[in-house]
Amino acid sequence: MTQGIKWVYLISLAMWVGSIMFFSFVVAPTVFKVLKPEDAAKLQRALFPKYYLVGIICAGIGIVCVGLLLAERAVGKWPGVLSLLLLAAMGGTDLWLRQAVVPQMAEIREQRAAAATPDPDLDAEWKSMHRLSVQLNAVVLLCGFVLVFLVVFSRVV
């Protein structure tokens, strides 16, 4: 059973980190190069909730797996506890981005589109929220790399 749990954990971690890398460095830049800005933004608004849902699901799977591995003493205490903390923080970040930040950014974008003239305050607010989401996404990715290191370090596989 332990080998199966390790396998599920590793697959969920690989899917999560891989999806972040693919979306951030392939999909997002390509969408804005190929589509008109309005269409690209519309596509991104449709993709982001699903993108963050992948992270939330992977965090849940990871937490269950690491918890089971800790219970079976198949992983060391400090790497296991650190992994649980990172998974919870990463999943919580994705949940917050999905449920709060993305909808607020969409609302601001709609307000900007409805405005008769450009509103510098709305533009600044949207750019600030976008910067925050990019930075948090980078932090989640870095934490994912730490988790991969912990898998290797603690010889989970």
Q: Where are the domains of the chain?
A: 2-153
| Contact yes or no for 133/97 (Cβ under 8 A) | yes
What is the pLDDT at residue 81?
Answer: 95
> Taking residues 1-13, what's their average pLDDT?
93
Give CA–CA dist 10/75, Å, rounded: 13
> Taking residues 88-92, what's their average pLDDT?
98
What is the pLDDT at residue 157?
Answer: 55
Q: ∠33-14-4 over CA atoms, to 5°?
A: 155
Q: What are phi and psi of 156, to 5 degrees?
A: -65, -35
pTM of the model: 0.91
User: What tens digit of pLDDT does each residue of 96-152 get?
Assistant: 999 999 999 999 988 888 888 888 888 999 999 999 999 999 999 999 999 999 998
| Rama region for 67: left / alpha / beta (φ>0; ψ in -120 to 50; rest) | alpha
Residues, the chain: 157
Q: What are phi and psi of 72, to 5 degrees?
A: -85, 0
Query: In whole angstroms, how far apart are CA 3 and each of 7, 10, 82, 100?
Result: 6, 10, 21, 37
